[in-house]
Amino acid sequence: MKKLTSILLLLLFVWTVQAQTAREEIRANRYLSANNYYAYPTPTAKQTAAPKGYEPFYISTYMRHGSRYLIDPNDYRFPKQTLLKADSLNKLTATGKNTLDIVLRMADMAEGRLGELTSVGARQHRGIAKRMYTNFPQIFADGTEVDARSTVVIRCILSMTSECLQLQAMNPNLCIKNDASYHDMYYMNPPAKDLSKIASSDKVKKVQKDFEATHVRPERLMKTLFTDEAYVKANVDEARLMRRLFDLACNMQSHDTDMQLYSLFTDEECYDLWSCNNLYWYLTHACSPVTDGLMPYREADLLRNILDRADAALKEGKNQATLRFGHESCLLPLVALLELNHYGESYPDVEKLSEQWRAYDIFPMASNVQFVFFHKKGSNDVLVKVLLNEKEAKLPVKTDVAPYYHWKDVESYYREKLDKYQHI
C-alpha cells in the first residue's frame, strides 16, 4: 500500500509540474521571461539508451551563439538619456537614481562590445561540448573529422571557437576544421527576403500592436522611477522605457555581475512583457496563421544542407561531426520546420498562445538542435534521434523505437516537405 501511495504521489507531482502555466513558470523563475535572452540552462535529462547493438557515429548540429551583450546601441542609450535628463531636473525617485546608476554601469560595460559574446556565453558552449563528448564518445574518437562552420558574426565565431577548443582539449587527436565565410551564409543565416516581407507586413504589425496595447502597462513603473507624473506624460515614452529597462534586466543573466533590475518589475509585468515578445517571435518565425504558416520555410536551405550532409556522411560510414553556429532567428524556424515536439503547430488565438507555445523552451542563449546518428554492424538501418537543447525531441514521423527514428523515414518525410514548399 505504501508503495502504491508513493507511486500515486509521484505521478501527481509530475502532472502538477507538467501542468504549470507560463505565468506560474515565470513567477517561479523570472529568468524565463528573458525569452531569447534567457541564459542556457544546464540540462538534467538523461539520454535513452540506443537499441541493442547500435552505436553513434555521426552528429550534425545547428547551434545559436552563447550569451551576449545587447545589439542595438539604443538598448543602452535610450534609457540612459531618458533617466539622465530626468535626473538633471531632479525628477527621479531614489529607485530611479539607483536604476540610472545601474544603466550607466551597464552602458559603460557594453561600450564597444555591442552584440559580442560574453564570458557566460563562452562557458555555455564549453559545457555543451563536454556533454556531447561524454554522451557520444564514439563519435569523437581519434581521427574523427569535425567540420565546424559559423556565420560571419563574431559572437558566432567565438562560440564555435569555445566549443571546438573544448573538444580538442578532451581529445587532441580530433581533426577539427573551422570556417566562417559568406560562402555558407545562404543556409547558415539566409536572407529569405520574400518571407521577411510577409513577417513585417502591416497585418502582422497590427496584431502585435493591438496585443501590446493591452499588455504593456507602464504606469506603476513610472511612478516608481519618477517624482512628477506631469513631467512623465510630457517627456517620457513610457512604454518604450519600460521595454528597454526590461531588456536590460533580462540580459543581465548574460553577464558575470551582481547587478540586477528585475526587482523593478512585478511578476505580472514580467509575464506580460514576455508574452509580447513571445507573440512577436511566433508571428515572425513560426507557424502562425497570420503568416499562413510560411515562416519556418526561412530555413528550407538549412534543412536541405542538414539532409545532404547527412547523406554524404552516411555513405562514407566513418565517424564525423558537422557543427554549425548561428542565430536564434534561424534556430527557431528550423525547430518549427522540423515540427519538433509541438512547435510546428498553428495556434490562432493570440491571447491563449502563451499557454500553448513558449519560445523560452526553444531558443535560450546557446540553444541547439542535434541530429545524432547510430548504426549497427551488419545492418543498413541507420537510426537517428534529435535533441532540442540536449533533450530528446519528438519528430512527426512514425517509429517503433522512440525516441529513435529510422533515418530513411525521417529523410523521406522532410524531403517531401521541402518539395511541396517549392510548389507553393
Residues 6+ apart with CB under 8 A from 329: 189, 285
Q: Does residue 109 sit within a domain?
A: yes
96 and 146, same domain (yes or no): no
Q: Does residue 122 sit within a domain?
A: yes
- CATH number of the structural domain spanning residue 172: 3.40.50.1240
Q: Give the mean model confidence (pLDDT) for residues 240-250.
A: 98
pLDDT at position 173 = 98
Residues 6+ apart with CB under 8 A from 280: 208
Domain end: 237, 264, 291, which one? 264
Concatenated DSSP letters of 231-250: HHHHH--HHHHHHHHHHHHH
pLDDT band (50, 70, 90) for residue 194:
confident
Q: Count other C-beta atoms under 10 Å from residue 378's C-beta.
A: 6
Checking if the pLDDT of 178 tops 50, the result is yes
Q: Does residue 7 sit within a domain?
A: no
Rounded CA-CA distance 117/152 in Å is 14
Checking if the pLDDT of 22 tops 70, the result is yes
Checking if the pLDDT of 346 tops 90, the result is yes
Checking if the pLDDT of 392 tops 70, the result is yes
Q: Does residue 14 sit within a domain?
A: no
More confident residue, 240 or 1: 240
109 and 75, same domain (yes or no): yes
377 and 315, same domain (yes or no): yes
309 and 238, same domain (yes or no): no
pLDDT band (50, 70, 90) for residue 422:
confident
Least confident of 7-16, 115-124, 159-168, 411-420: 7-16
Whether 124 and 366 have beta carbons less than 8 Å apart is answered as: yes
Q: How many domains does one find in the chain?
A: 2
Q: Does residue 216 sit within a domain?
A: yes
| Mean pLDDT (the chain, rounded) | 94
221 and 103, same domain (yes or no): yes
Checking if the pLDDT of 423 tops 90, the result is no
Checking if the pLDDT of 2 tops 80, the result is no
Parallel/antiparallel/unpaired status of strands 175-180 and 145-150:
parallel
24 and 58, same domain (yes or no): yes
184 and 225, same domain (yes or no): no
pLDDT band (50, 70, 90) for residue 97:
very high
Q: Give the mean model confidence (pLDDT) for residues 127-149.
A: 98
177 and 233, same domain (yes or no): no
Q: Does residue 100 sit within a domain?
A: yes
Whether 281 and 182 have beta carbons less than 8 Å apart is answered as: no
The percentage of residues in the chain with a pLDDT greater than 70, rounded to a whole number, is 95
249 and 378, same domain (yes or no): no
Q: Does residue 371 sit within a domain?
A: yes
Condensed to tens digits (0 to 9), the pLDDT of residues 301-342 reads 999 999 999 999 999 989 999 999 999 999 999 999 999 999
pLDDT at position 360 = 97
pLDDT at position 191 = 82
pLDDT at position 4 = 47
Domain end: 264, 289, 317, which one? 264
Show the domain range for 59.
20-67+117-197+281-420
121 and 161, same domain (yes or no): yes
Domain end: 215, 238, 264, which one? 264
Q: Give the mean model confidence (pLDDT) for residues 47-71.
A: 97
Q: Is the dihedral of CA 110, 114, 117, 121 positive or negative?
A: positive
Checking if the pLDDT of 223 tops 50, the result is yes
Q: Does residue 104 sit within a domain?
A: yes
Q: Give the mean model confidence (pLDDT) for residues 419-423.
A: 82
Least confident of 9-13, 111-115, 179-183: 9-13
Checking if the pLDDT of 5 tops 90, the result is no
Checking if the pLDDT of 393 tops 60, the result is yes
pLDDT at position 424 = 59
pLDDT band (50, 70, 90) for residue 226:
very high
The phi, psi pair for 149, rounded to 5°, reads: -130, 145
145 and 231, same domain (yes or no): no
Condensed to tens digits (0 to 9), the pLDDT of residues 352-367 reads 999 999 999 999 999 9
107 and 121, same domain (yes or no): no
Rounded CA-CA distance 316/168 in Å is 23
